Amino acid sequence: MRFISWNVNGLRACLQKGFLDVFNMVNADCFCLQETKLQPEQVSLELPGYHQFWYSAEKKGYSGTALFSKEEPINITYGVGIPELDTEGRLITAEYPDFYLVTCYTPNAQQGLARIDHRLRWDEAFRSYLMELDQHKPVIICGDLNVAHQEIDLKNPSSNRGNAGFSDEERGSFEKLLSCGFTDTFRYLHPDVTGAYSWWSYRFNARKNNAGWRIDYFLVSDRIRDKIQATPIYHEVLGSDHCPVGLEINLED
């Protein structure tokens, strides 16, 4: 199966920059979006052969996720189940016969870590939620998780130490998630690869110079990590300050 995740940083803008060409090119079984920045009625998206699921923030033009699936899920749920954390459209879960698929747009800690307390509350709830799912069947998690885990995951670790996305608190929280039984699929296949990023600032010619961060992930339950086949990063795809990331996995064996 082929899964794709992409923070489109505004789907309406991305549609003007080749989104459908990318969507058709990758021909994913499931295609997940973060930061859609719209209400479903604000866009008419024809995706023949796909079931569409949308989760928008209460605040218009902000956050939001979507999931497009060739196979109709058994069940769809929205959010982590905690009302104060579920106003920003950040998480969709699709249940299939053999696994759960979760797409997530993790809150940004913001400049000066102004929102770090909210971020860590989210991380704790997210971790508990995934652990509960994992008790029933394997989980595939994707999305913009807004953290570069290790120094290898960003171009300039020393100058970014303590900044949002590379604070000790966020990195420790992500490490705790992995220790609860989940695998970073890209690092599982490519433990030593450098220069593999999924987000670049719009400033300072960051993308041209590949001064990026790897903050978009596919994680899987540890017990299915031996089924991972490929973890592409589509760095050549434009249309957002993030590029799509992928997972190819054989769950039939």
End-to-end CA distance of the chain: give it in Å, rounded.
12
Contact (Cβ atoms closer than 8 angstroms) between residue 152 and residue 139: no
User: What does the alpha-carbon distance between residue 64 and residue 46 come to, in Å, rounded to a whole number?
Assistant: 19
Question: Token pair of 179, please?
Answer: 């220790």
What CA–CA distances, in Å, run from 150 to 22, 116, 125? 29, 19, 22
DSSP state of 111: G
Alpha helices in 137-192 (DSSP H): 157-160, 168-179, 185-189
Q: Which one of the listed residues 50, 105, 129, 197 is annotated catalytic?
A: 105
Contact (Cβ atoms closer than 8 angstroms) between residue 3 and residue 29: yes
What CA–CA distances, in Å, run from 199 to 39, 139, 153, 203? 24, 24, 11, 12
Q: Which one of the listed residues 96, 100, 129, 144 is annotated catalytic?
A: 144
Annotation marks residue 144 as catalytic: yes
**Residue 1 amino acid letter:** M
Instruction: Indicate which residues carry an active-site annotation.
Output: 105, 144
